[in-house]
A = this chain, B = another copy of it.
Amino acid sequence: MSGDNTAEVVLALEIDDPALADRLTALLGNVAGLRLATPGERAAATVVARDARSMPEDIALTQRELDVLALMAEGASNKMIARQLGISVHTVKFHVGSLLDKLDATGRTDAVAHAARRGVIEL
* A interface, CB within 8 angstroms of B: 1-2, 5, 9, 11-12, 15, 19-20, 23-24, 27-28, 31, 33-34, 37-51, 66, 69-75, 77, 105-114, 116-117, 119, 121-123
**Copies of this chain present:** 2
Contacts of A105 in B (CB 8 A): 75
Q: What are 26 A-B interface contacts by the 8 Å CB criterion? A: A9-B23, A9-B27, A20-B44, A27-B31, A37-B122, A39-B70, A40-B71, A40-B73, A40-B74, A40-B122, A41-B70, A42-B50, A42-B121, A44-B51, A45-B47, A46-B47, A46-B48, A46-B49, A47-B48, A75-B105, A75-B106, A75-B107, A75-B111, A77-B107, A113-B116, A123-B123
